[in-house]
Amino acid sequence: MKPICSVQDFNARIKRVLVTKEEIDAAISKAGKEIDKIYDGRPILLVSILKGAFVFMADLCRAVSVPCEIGFMCAKSYYEGTVSTGVVNITMDLDQDISKYHVVIVEDIIDTGRTLSDIVKLLQTRNPLSLHVITLLDKPSRRLVDFKADISLFTIPDHFVIGYGLDCGEHFRNLPYIAEYQEKEGN
Ligand code: IMP
Ligand code: MG
């Protein structure tokens, strides 16, 4: 991917808005209530998968009312621009012993399914009290590994998307909405 050098260059890569800030806010408020209902007052540990899920985590943790702790793991899928190399690597692990927790994994997007499939397998070996997965976005048409989240806020078509935590080449995470990425010739 060529570096972004100007605001014009930045804006030219935002093809169209797929999910607005208002739609995201409404869906997160609903998801918070769903989590409250599932756990019914029991404390939970929300585990955000960095970097992409950091914005979703920040809003989701304020939408739940059950007692909640937060934790972070960093998984790199080694994206080159918009293409996944298929190698998932956990570069930062949790610092909690999850055997004492009801764990909710908080992910930005499920694409091939590889990242979450690997993370769920790993966390299951640590015997959490329970384990659920919530994802902001789901691209089921791209699945290579059979994987389904317990809660999915938006199902989207097979487009590379940016914004609300999701990046292309580390840019666009700060957009308040989800947009389709405009590929540039020569990338
Ligand atoms: P998976 O392992 O293929 O399911 O991909 C999971 C990770 O790849 C996500 O957590 C994202 O960080 C990244 N990813 C997948 N699709 C997109 C996209 O459309 N935009 C930005 N990042 C993506
Ligand atoms: Mg991610």
Could you list the pLDDT tens digit for every one of the 187 residues in the chain? Answer: 666 778 998 899 999 999 999 999 999 999 999 999 999 999 999 999 999 999 999 999 999 999 999 999 998 875 666 776 667 789 999 999 999 999 999 999 999 999 999 999 999 999 999 999 999 999 999 999 999 999 999 999 999 999 999 999 999 999 999 999 998 765 5
CB 184: neighbour CB atoms within 10 A? 12
Residues 6+ apart with CB under 8 A from 92: 50, 72, 73, 74
pLDDT of residue 113: 94
- Tell me, in angstroms, the distance from the centre of ligand 1 to residue 126's CA: 25
Ligand 1 pocket check: which of 78, 108, 155 to mutate, most ligand atoms within 8 Å of Cβ?
Answer: 108
Distance CA 92, CA 115 (A): 14
Q: Say if residues 158 and 83 touch (Cβ distance below 8 Å).
A: no
Euclidean distance between CA atoms 156 and 57, whole angstroms:
20
- Scanning the chain, the segments in alpha helix (DSSP H) are 7-12, 21-39, 54-60, 114-124
- pLDDT for the residue numbered 18: 98
Which strands form 178-181's sheet, in the order they lie side by side? 14-19, 178-181, 161-162
**Residue 4: its pLDDT value, please?**
72
d(CA 46, CA 38): 14
3-state helix/strand/coil string of 60-95: HCCCCCCCEEEEEEEEECCEECCEECCCCEEEECCC
Task: Find the 166 Cα to ligand 2 centroid distance in Å.
Answer: 8
* 77 within ligand 1 shell (Cβ under 6 A): yes
Q: How many other CB atoms sit within 10 Å of the CB of residue 159?
A: 15
**117 in contact with ligand 1, CB cutoff 6 A:** no
| pLDDT digit string, tens, across residues 1-50 | 666 778 998 899 999 999 999 999 999 999 999 999 999 999 999 999 99
